[in-house]
Homo-oligomer: A and B are copies of this chain.
Amino acid sequence: MPKLRLAVLGSGSGSNMQSIVDAIEAGTLDAEIVCVLADVADAKILERAARHNLSHQYVSCAPFKTKLDGDAQEEYIRIMKAAGADTVVLAGFMRIVKQGLLDAFPNRVLNIHPALLPAFPGLHSWKQALDYGAKVAGCTVHFVDAGTDSGPIIVQKCVPVEEGDTPESLHARIQVQEHIAFPEALRYLAADALTIKGRVVHIKR
């Protein structure tokens, strides 16, 4: 049985899930994606999941607009547990997750954020970085805690901000690193290499 049993939650194209699928199919990540859940009915991540014969489902998060809470949270947890998931991967899931999910998968919910946290938390962080005039940008894979983009950091990758960058060109450059960073973080988890001490993640290599 693969080391990690991943539930992937997304709202968009699922390009980060793709990088994980690719790592699994290439044999460089000892994991299995046991379910893919989307809060957007026509999210491309569901099509991707179908193409790779992964169990997938749209599950509404109504009546909430920006969080996963209440009955919807219960339903997500129920489906993920039923699928035997032990780790939750937020791959472009555009909602705040709440304590219920964190309690159901303690220290097992991972998120990727397109900035070098603690700089530029929140939305459109590549645009925040451009507007700030940062000359280095990047991405962060972290354990999710009760805050927003505040949990213990597993992997960070940086990219240069180039003269003439648009939000789109910078975002695209960051995404290349996201697709390296997420499988790397999961590889550490699969190898039981991570320990969390306070808010610091130690990596045994």
Per-residue B-contact encoding for A133-146, CB less than 8 Å = 1, 0 else: 11110101000000
Please state the number of chain copies in the assembly: 2
Chain A contact residue count (CB 8 A cutoff): 30
Cβ of A152 within 8 Å of any chain B Cβ, yes or no, is yes
Question: Which residue of B130, B153, B163 is within 8 Å of A134 (Cβ)?
Answer: B153
Q: How far is the CB of A95 from chain B (nearest CB, A)?
A: 24
Residues in chain B near residue A140, CB distance under 8 A: 135
Q: Apart from A118-B132, A135-B140, A136-B157, what 8 extra A-B contacts exist at CB < 8 Å? A: A116-B116, A116-B119, A118-B120, A130-B200, A131-B200, A135-B153, A136-B138, A163-B205
Chain A interface (Cβ within 8 Å of chain B)? 116-120, 130-136, 138, 140, 152-158, 163, 198-205
